[in-house]
Amino acid sequence: MSWTRCSEELLAKLISQFCSEALLTPVDGRLELGSVVYTFEYVEGAFATYRVRPGSVQRTTAGILGNDESEPAVDPLQFMLDAAGVLGLDGPTLAGYMAELSSTLAADVRMAETALPAAELADLHHTQLEGHLTGHPILVANKGRLGFSASDSARYTPEARTPLRLVWLAVRRGLAEFRGTPDLSEHAVVGRELGSEAVDAFRSKLVDPDSYVWLPVHPWQLDHVVRTQWSRELATGEIVVLGDGPDEYLPTQSIRTMVNITQPGRYQVKLPLKILNTSVYRGIPIHCTLAAPMLTQWLRGLWYRDEVIQSLGAELLGEVASVTVRHPQLAAAPGIPYQWTETLGCIWRDPLEPRLRAGETAWPLAAVLHVDPTGEPLVTTYIKRSGVDPEVWISHLLSTILRPLLHLLHHYGITVNPHGENLAIICDPSGLPSRLVVKDLVDDVNLSTVPIAERGMEPDSHDRVLPRKPWHVLRQYMVDALFLGVLNPLSTLIPEVDLWGLLRGELDLYAANNPHHAARLESTALTGESFTRYPLNGYRLTLGYSDLDTRPPIPKAGTLPNALHTAASIPPKRAE
């Protein structure tokens, strides 16, 4: 039964992650939660992480006759009720988190009922593959989506795999602002996205078309937010609903980013959705829409002039244009919860398809963590089809990811957030990983606090948009998103490969080739004894579900041992 299996897997993940983040402290596979005891089978992974075996969890309580009663545990919601006291959760937080767990479990069941074998998944185009991937590997309630109804989830989520059309709005200038990279005009972007026929049809609906800024909106957001929160502007004609665009889109794993499947050469579109998912409401902050094209232009200047990055063939999907719409009352009022001020706007991003060379294929990095219904990892299929040894394939994967990211971090003091959604892998015609794709810039780019001459004039020198952080904090993006979020779970799927030895080999090679960055490498200390622990799941439990006017940082929670510190270095299998 899909529900039982999915529930067992979600419970195992819940216990695994809560123990890994030291939210709960097991002793030899035993958790005492007041009058209830849970036992389970597990193995300890790298970075002091736990991996609980699904189906092994037992729940023991005192029976009515005074004897202990033990039974198999499959329900993550019951576990949360039992653990609430130990976790120190209040009623609203417990209820909110259980709602997210319920939504996640429902989505997991829907996915399990339509899951494809790895061999079929490996044949899918990357835009189609997105809808089969099961979500964030560390965040337990990774499909919480509070705000979506059951019918919304069946229509608008990645796993629904249902194309949708975006609705276009015209918003009066002054209320809305367009920005683009220097090579893009507002008319050029709109014309490229709509085509001349749709542009002419929409212009005919407006008395003075050029007195408006045009932008797409997600149909859910139009119905649930724009027609209510922006009802005055709709009534006065400051906002005009133009109609459906001509193309069909599919949502990516992030839900709010849409990929054009009618015309893949057209832009990806990032749109706000007033739903709570994986820690925050999925709006788009005003500073992000305003800064995206400026940041893209600056990064492009570094990226495409840099000999190392160009030699590696790494691709940057720039956020080339945007529309910002400020709410006329709420945007200027103090203390307004951020989900009410980030409801309308868009960011257009470069598409991936035109970057592919003859014979190349691409897939999101998250694909390497997917396991099909028979237990076959998708990464195993990728490796078999390439015809090379697993160690060689994994070495190429690590080289493809790390070489540009290590250079970006240590040469420029710039980090992205390299998790499974933000990176894509381009494979050569033989199926070997060969080139990296980086996206989602304005939300996730950080700079070193220490100025770096190679960065040149920073784009936000006068009006700060990009966070400045010390080296040991910058490194955490690679540690948490890549090492813990992708490579650690990947290592369990390919036990025959010494992944940490290969990763240590890449780090050692970079250090040997870049002695001029020795001080920076010492500061990032990627092979040091320990890293700071940032509990992603604990963040939601600590934060609760109260309305906040900003997105708070994730709190620190001690340290965790670094698996790379003692790993025996294995030389990379890919030539420099």
Q: Tell me the mean pLDDT in the region 365-379.
A: 97
Q: Tell me the mean pLDDT in the region 488-510.
A: 98
Residue appearing with tokens 């609903």: 241
For the segment 537-551, what is each residue's pLDDT rounded down to a tens digit? 999 898 889 888 888
Residue 461: predicted pLDDT: 79
Q: How is residue 27 annotated by DSSP?
A: S
**CA separation for the pair 503, 395 (Å, rounded):** 8
- Among residues 4, 3, 30, 2, the alpha carbon closest in space to that of 15 is found at 30
- Residue-wise over 169-185: b if at least 16 C-beta within 10 A, else e? bbbbeebbbbbbbeebe
For the segment 453-489, what is each residue's pLDDT rounded down to a tens digit? 999 999 987 788 899 999 999 999 999 999 999 999 9
Residue-averaged pLDDT of the chain = 96
* Identical fold between 2-85 and 356-561: no
Q: What percent of the chain has pLDDT over 90?
A: 91
> Residue 574 in 3-state DSSP?
coil
Is 576 a residue whose pLDDT tops 80? no
Is 335 a residue whose pLDDT tops 80? yes
Residue spans of the domains in the chain: they are 2-85, 167-277+319-349, 356-561
Is 309 a residue whose pLDDT tops 80? yes
- Residue-wise over 421-438: b if at least 16 C-beta within 10 A, else e? bbbbbbbbeebbbbbbbb
Topology of 356-561 in CATH?
Answer: Transferase(Phosphotransferase); domain 1 (1.10.510)
Q: Tell me the mean pLDDT in the region 504-530.
A: 98
**CA separation for the pair 369, 134 (Å, rounded):** 9
> Residue 115 in 3-state DSSP?
coil
94-98, 181-185, 329-333: lowest mean pLDDT where? 329-333
For the segment 54-103, what is each residue's pLDDT rounded down to a tens digit? 999 999 997 656 678 899 999 999 999 999 999 999 999 999 999 999 99
**CA separation for the pair 565, 530 (Å, rounded):** 8
Residue 463: predicted pLDDT: 81
**CA separation for the pair 23, 536 (Å, rounded):** 11
For the segment 313-329, what is each residue's pLDDT rounded down to a tens digit? 999 999 999 999 999 99
Q: How confident is the model at residue 278 (pLDDT cuts 50, 70, 90)?
A: confident
> Residue 72 in 3-state DSSP?
strand
Residue 550: predicted pLDDT: 84
Return the C-alpha torsion angle 147, 149, 154, 158, nearest 10: 10
The class of domain 2-85 in CATH terms is alpha beta
CA atoms within 13 A on the CB side of 170: 20
Residue 64: predicted pLDDT: 59
**AA identity, residue 178:** F
